[in-house]
Amino acid sequence: MESIGNIRRTEIIQAFLKILSEKGLAKATIREIADAAGCNPGLLHHYFSDKGEIVAASVEHAANVYREDLLRGLDEFEAAADKLRFFLPRYLDIGRLNLEISRVWLDLYALSKTEESILKPVQQCFRDGRDQVCGFIAQGVKAGEFRKVNPRVMATVILGCLEGVTMLWVIDPEDTPLVEVGELIEDLIGTYLMKK
């Protein structure tokens, strides 16, 4: 059973993510985070030493939730090509994507180059995602399903394409056709990777 402290920390993180999606990090205040979490600012300091610690915990929380949701079902596939066919459209699945959380990520990306408390957890999130994709690319190369490529470079290309499209969707959701773009990315990457 989860402790009251962990539950409260999660509530504060969720409140912070909500405020962050509405106002951005620069305008998010401790008072607003506390109000959204239904507590006083002093209680926030009981769980987090400062705003930077809330940010780091929130990035980690959002990354874990996002990754678990994204990868749910991947283990059902044995072949690397099947994993790739599952992963690519799932990444851009409009039913799975959350515009609010995607806005938070866009803000975090922008701030990660100037805020050390944001940079490290954002980097770790990308490294974890790249390692996951790299794993099934390497599996496909080793099994002869995919052409010989550097799995780390290919994983970076795949995530770069998918994240770029996600950012465009955040900026202009009405004019970013995720399904069609996802199908094209899947076709391009699949055509390139599949061994002739």
Q: What DSSP string describes 152-196?
A: HHHHHHHHHHHHHHHHHHHH-GGG--HHHHHHHHHHHHHHHHB--
In this predicted structure, the answer to whether residue 196 has a pLDDT above a threshold of 70 is: no
Higher confidence at residue 190 or residue 56?
Answer: 190
**Lowest mean per-residue pLDDT among 2-6, 44-48, 149-153, 170-174:** 2-6
Tokens of 62: 């959002």
Q: Which CATH architecture has domain 1-48?
A: Orthogonal Bundle (1.10)
| Share of residues in the chain with pLDDT > 90 (%) | 31
In this predicted structure, the answer to whether residue 155 has a pLDDT above a threshold of 90 is: yes
CA atoms of 43 and 17, how far apart (whole Å)? 17
Q: Which of 2, 63, 1, 7 is nearest to 39 (CA)?
A: 7
CA atoms of 154 and 160, how far apart (whole Å)? 10
CA atoms of 51 and 55, how far apart (whole Å)? 6
Where in the chain do CATH 1.10.357.10 domains reside?
51-193
In this predicted structure, the answer to whether residue 79 has a pLDDT above a threshold of 90 is: yes
CB 22 within 8 A of CB 47: no
In this predicted structure, the answer to whether residue 26 has a pLDDT above a threshold of 90 is: no
As assigned by CATH, the class of the 51-193 domain is: mainly alpha
CA atoms of 11 and 17, how far apart (whole Å)? 10
Tokens of 151: 């799995």
In this predicted structure, the answer to whether residue 100 has a pLDDT above a threshold of 90 is: no
Residue with tokens 């459209």: 89
